[in-house]
Amino acid sequence: MADPHELALRRAIQLAELARQHGNHPFGSIVTNAAGDIVLEAENTVVTGHDLAGHPEIKVATLAAAKFDAASLAGCTLYASTEPCPMCSGAIYWSGIGRVVFAFSQRSLNQIVQHLPTQTYLSLSCREVFARGNRPIEVIGPLLEEEARYVHLGFWDR
């Protein structure tokens, strides 16, 4: 039987690929409940939605906070194709979600984009953001980093 983290991350990576195919940045995210069932999923819509907060992690965290009570949220896991950025990490923190699992690290993404003059980024890991709060959030990752790297290759060079 496959690792449930791997299955969920592969779905998030598929959503990242869909986002890329739809003309957006290649990021995808899902939320599972305590039983491991996928309850929410989203792809990035920053470009097509003309929304700087169209990151999939923000979208699923916001929906989860509206849909579940605090106890349920604490048992939820947010899976992300790439480590959540500082903005998304803040949304995840405030949502009450208890765990984050990501495939591709911010450090690896920064290595791809740092030499490109048109790309900007904040070099702050989700672990650093969560450490500033008074509620613990378990973080697992990076996992499946080579698989997740694929959706980024060639995208940021345009």
128 is catalytic: no
Q: Are 79 and 101 in contact (CB under 8 A)?
A: yes
Quickly list H helices, the chain.
4-21, 56-67, 70-74, 86-95, 106-113, 126-131, 145-149
Q: Which residues make Cβ contacts (< 8 Å) with residue 153, sequence separation at least 6? A: 112
Catalytically annotated residue among 57, 128, 145, 146: 57
> In sequence order, what DSSP letters do the residues of 63-108 get, joined into one string?
HHHHHS-HHHHHT-EEEEEEPPPHHHHHHHHHHT--EEEEEE-HHH
* Three-state DSSP state, 116: coil
The residues annotated with a catalytic role in the active site are 57
